[in-house]
Structure 1
Amino acid sequence: MRITKYQRVVSWLFGAVLLLGAFAVNAAEVEKVRIWLAPDHARLVFDLSGPAAHKVFTLDNPDRIVLDVENSTLKADLERLGLDKSPVERIRSGKNGKTLRLVLDLKHGVRPKSFDLKPNQKYGHRLVLDLYEKESLGKATKTAEPQAIAGRDIVIAIDAGHGGDDPGAIGSGRVREKDVVLAMAKELKRRLDQTPGYKGQLTRTGDYYISLRGRTTAARKHNADLFVSIHADAFKDPRARGASVWVLSSRGASSEMGRWLASKENSADLIGGVGSVSLDDKDNVLASVLLDMSMTASREDSRSIAKGIHTNIKRFARMHKSHVEQAGFVVLKSPDIPSILVETGFISNPGEAANLKTRSYQKKMADAIYKGIVQHFERKPPALTLIAQRKAKDNRSYKVVRGDTLSVIASKNGVSLASLRKVNSLKNDTIKVGQVLRIPAS
């Protein structure tokens, strides 16, 4: 039978109607709304039943943010959302044709940033709306030039992995990686802060998410001498177990060097820690040499610290490998800051998950990391730090000249006669001209 032009048009229209009907049936629902509060921004996460296009714009007098989600309906209960400490006063909803309109009445002006997230193993489609405090953007995010302060503390950036909408791995008994590692990070900070000459800085202090690059940026902002990222591993086989310590691989270092040299954003950043230099006024060859020197020194220190921590952990825990491992983790890629990553165990292993969630085990792990850090910096303190000054003072020496007595030398150097005898293993006060004595710290 011959199909006429009229029949083809009717068939096309019929198909179009069916397609439009399918779209109508597949309209997305906003099933749930969650909020996470960070020091510099609030994050709203909208769980969707399917993909949906959206747009965001702001309104003034009063300050509002409008979020339009196309072809969508609201199922979530907005009244139960905890907005007390957020910049949002309340959220109103309405329909503009098939578009769901959400209006956020603000307590003060913020800068919104929105994006979609595809489904993963834990969540379906999501729409994320970040509300940044205005002063946290722009110039405020630029790295401040390190201050070369004599007698300063050694700063350790402590990074608790995951957080907020990203719980990390989830073990038996629903123990969450983000909670375990934050507890260890806080314990490590407590130990460091109690030690003269050291200071711990947490990249996150609560349950919120920070991007991988944001974590290293935070370390640079605090002029950190070391970056330590703490995690708990997971694997599909629950029998996998063991802690591990990681440093940056050669391939990861090479790729990061290329990224820094190619990026205008990175070129103006400082490298080399205290007294560091900028790459923006250097030619390509010199910039490459400086960056390579900085990264080489950083990786050598990273390996030294990682080895000490690995040794400390294996005294009480099973290790996944007998040596420090290497990978191209983003959080290990600061060219100027020694960086290590500690996997404290397999949270997917029931036995190790049971350990990881206990306060006693968390303190053991934090103590092992703490001792590895202190062991390294007591041996090789950064210049101008209190630890470096103390070490220099401990290494003082005095050459005996004619007319000296042990008691006179002790008095001149402000130390006790007993301590001078002890540090030099002297059985009596007899000394000889030309003899070199160690002077203990006063």
Structure 2
Amino acid sequence: MDRRRFITTLLATCLLPSTRALAGNPLIPFTLTEDDESASFVIELEGSNEHNVFTLDHPPRVVIDLPQVTRVASSSAALHQHAGIVEDVRTGQRAGGIRIVLDLKTLKQPKTHIRQLGANRSQLIVSINDPDPLMAAVTAEAQSHNQPRKAIIEIDAGHGGKDPGCISADDHYEKYVAMGVADYLKGRLDTDPRFEPSLTRDSDIFIPLHQRVLMARNHHADLFISIHADAAPTTKAAGASVYILSEHGASSATARWLAESQNSSDRYASTRDSEIYSDDPDVQSVLIDLSMRGTDVASQKLARTTLNQLGSVTALHNDRVNKAAFAVLKSPDIPSMLVETGFMSNRQDCRRLLRSAHQQELAEALHQSVADFFEANPIPG
């Protein structure tokens, strides 16, 4: 067996169980109801209801460990308003399971309850000074059957910090244009009850490309949108473009040039140690091949919808979905696209991209693209 075939077999053996595990561990919604004095956290569990709940101080918080759960998301529209006793809700991987942290305004001791819903289903209720936690549990169960969960959208503002991106002839930076459009898009999605947006960066900081991919996966994103405004060797290049990950190389010389330009951002990073990247070129090639399975069709649909919407607010560089090996698109299980909103190297494009009104127009087009995509491709509740 040659080396490449051995690596392919080894990676497939390692990665395919993860794919099955994702299918067998769907995104589990939780709800949080609260007021100034009390709160109830409710999550429905399949199979094991093993849990560990405890408090920590400085800052005050309730910690909920669920060792048999791997993916969770909020199904509560009020969760991010933080109008009550809970100031913030954080989730993350912990020892193969999930840790959920409720940051409190003042420390209060929680009570836990298990409510059986069937032979293999139960609700974990964590109540904080709530006189009627059962009501929260009943409400949460009704919501879980009547409301689809929100689609999680990861918005990536390209470049940032010590990586300025492309610089126009009159010293305007791509990173600020990308952040402007990303901010407007998040603002629009925040007001749409169908979506839960998240930013890879919300300030002028540098984040390596592979970490952006991992952030989207850790947030259990349903879509990944990377926003850029690039340059080209010629000042005649103009208009917006949409890219998805190429399986067999760039779709054009321009696409290849742009991918090399964007991927060079990782020269600012000190490490590439992630589950997506490898310094071994054979392993890297196989990982890219595997990453295309199951997401290419969805990415194509998303990109085509986006291209149509962008054409209503700006000129297009071309009217096809482009393909290139952008590192930031290499997520194995999230439909992803990279949007070039225009060219910083083109004077007219750059002038428009710097205008707040045009950034809002671009954000509106992207919002409509996301809405159209999920209307045609609804996610399971």
Query: TM-score, normalised on structure 1?
Result: 0.45
Runs of 4+ in 1 over 4 A off after TM superposition: 139-147
| Match in the other structure for 1:157 | 154
User: Relative to structure 1, is the Cα distance of residues 236 and 298 closer, same or farther in structure 2, using a 3 angstrom cutoff?
Assistant: same
Are 1:378 and 2:375 matched, yes or no?
yes
Whole-Å separation in 2 of the counterparts to 1:336 and 1:374: 20
| Identity percentage of aligned residues | 39
Aligned-partner residue type, residue 377 of structure 1: F
| Match in the other structure for 1:166 | 163
Aligned-partner residue type, residue 205 of structure 1: D
1:289-300 correspondence to structure 2 within 5 Å: 295-300=292-297
The 3-state SS of whatever aligns with 2:374 is: helix
User: Relative to structure 1, is the Cα distance of residues 375 and 143 closer, same or farther in structure 2, using a 3 angstrom cutoff?
Assistant: farther
Are 1:246 and 2:255 matched, yes or no?
no
1:377-416 correspondence to structure 2 within 5 Å: 377-384=374-381
Aligned-partner residue type, residue 223 of structure 1: H
The 3-state SS of whatever aligns with 1:245 is: strand
| Match in the other structure for 1:231 | 228
The 3-state SS of whatever aligns with 2:275 is: helix
1:300-355 CA deviation, whole Å, 9 max, x = no partner?
A: 11110100110111123221112010011111110100000000000111111000
User: Relative to structure 1, is the Cα distance of residues 335 and 144 closer, same or farther in structure 2, using a 3 angstrom cutoff?
Assistant: farther
Gap regions ≥5 residues in structure 2: 1-91, 101-139, 251-271, 277-285
1:276-311 CA deviation, whole Å, 9 max, x = no partner?
A: xxxxxxxxxxxx9xx95x743211111101001101
The 3-state SS of whatever aligns with 1:353 is: helix
Whole-Å separation in 1 of the counterparts to 2:96 and 2:346: 40
User: Relative to structure 1, is the Cα distance of residues 330 and 265 closer, same or farther in structure 2, using a 3 angstrom cutoff?
Assistant: closer
**Could you tell me whether the CA contact under 8 Å between 1:143 and 1:220 is conserved in 2?**
no
Whole-Å separation in 2 of the counterparts to 1:357 and 1:335: 34
1:398-437 correspondence to structure 2 within 5 Å: none
| Match in the other structure for 2:323 | 326
User: Relative to structure 1, is the Cα distance of residues 311 and 213 closer, same or farther in structure 2, using a 3 angstrom cutoff?
Assistant: same
Are 1:206 and 2:203 matched, yes or no?
yes
Gap regions ≥5 residues in structure 1: 1-138, 254-262, 268-287, 385-442
**Could you tell me whether the CA contact under 8 Å between 1:143 and 1:221 is conserved in 2?**
no
**Larger RCO: 1 or 2 (CA < 8 Å, sep 6+):** 2
**1:240 Cα shift?**
1.4
Whole-Å separation in 2 of the counterparts to 1:244 and 1:146: 39
**1:144 Cα shift?**
6.3
Question: Which of 173, 178, 185 matches 2:175?
Answer: 178
1:344-383 correspondence to structure 2 within 5 Å: 344-383=341-380
Question: Which of 266, 269, 286 matches 2:275?
Answer: 266
Structure 1, 298-307 or 311-320: larger mean CA deviation = 311-320
Aligned-partner residue type, residue 266 of structure 1: E
**1:171 Cα shift?**
1.3
**Could you tell me whether the CA contact under 8 Å between 1:252 and 1:333 is conserved in 2?**
no
Whole-Å separation in 1 of the counterparts to 2:170 and 2:274: 44
**Could you tell me whether the CA contact under 8 Å between 1:165 and 1:208 is conserved in 2?**
yes
Aligned-partner residue type, residue 218 of structure 1: M
The aligned length equals 214
1:371-430 CA deviation, whole Å, 9 max, x = no partner?
A: 11110101212111xxxxxxxxxxxxxxxxxxxxxxxxxxxxxxxxxxxxxxxxxxxxxx
1:188-228 CA deviation, whole Å, 9 max, x = no partner?
A: 01111100120110000100100010000110111100000
**Could you tell me whether the CA contact under 8 Å between 1:246 and 1:325 is conserved in 2?**
yes
The 3-state SS of whatever aligns with 2:232 is: coil
User: Relative to structure 1, is the Cα distance of residues 141 and 355 closer, same or farther in structure 2, using a 3 angstrom cutoff?
Assistant: farther
Question: Which of 328, 336, 339 matches 2:336?
Answer: 339
| Match in the other structure for 1:218 | 215
**Could you tell me whether the CA contact under 8 Å between 1:158 and 1:201 is conserved in 2?**
yes
The 3-state SS of whatever aligns with 2:314 is: coil
**1:152 Cα shift?**
2.6
Whole-Å separation in 2 of the counterparts to 1:161 and 1:142: 31
Whole-Å separation in 1 of the counterparts to 2:97 and 2:172: 38
RMSD: 3.0
User: Relative to structure 1, is the Cα distance of residues 320 and 145 closer, same or farther in structure 2, using a 3 angstrom cutoff?
Assistant: farther
1:82-93 correspondence to structure 2 within 5 Å: none
**Could you tell me whether the CA contact under 8 Å between 1:155 and 1:226 is conserved in 2?**
yes
The 3-state SS of whatever aligns with 2:348 is: helix
| Match in the other structure for 1:94 | none
User: Relative to structure 1, is the Cα distance of residues 337 and 145 closer, same or farther in structure 2, using a 3 angstrom cutoff?
Assistant: farther
User: Relative to structure 1, is the Cα distance of residues 364 and 357 closer, same or farther in structure 2, using a 3 angstrom cutoff?
Assistant: same
Whole-Å separation in 2 of the counterparts to 1:142 and 1:357: 45
Whole-Å separation in 2 of the counterparts to 1:220 and 1:166: 23
**Could you tell me whether the CA contact under 8 Å between 1:144 and 1:221 is conserved in 2?**
no
The 3-state SS of whatever aligns with 1:365 is: helix
Whole-Å separation in 2 of the counterparts to 1:321 and 1:232: 15
| Match in the other structure for 2:40 | none
Larger Rg over CA atoms? 1
| Match in the other structure for 1:106 | none
**Could you tell me whether the CA contact under 8 Å between 1:252 and 1:329 is conserved in 2?**
no
User: Relative to structure 1, is the Cα distance of residues 371 and 164 closer, same or farther in structure 2, using a 3 angstrom cutoff?
Assistant: same
**Could you tell me whether the CA contact under 8 Å between 2:247 and 2:292 is conserved in 1?**
no
Aligned-partner residue type, residue 174 of structure 2: E
**1:173 Cα shift?**
3.2
**1:239 Cα shift?**
1.8
| Match in the other structure for 2:303 | 306
Whole-Å separation in 1 of the counterparts to 2:96 and 2:231: 34
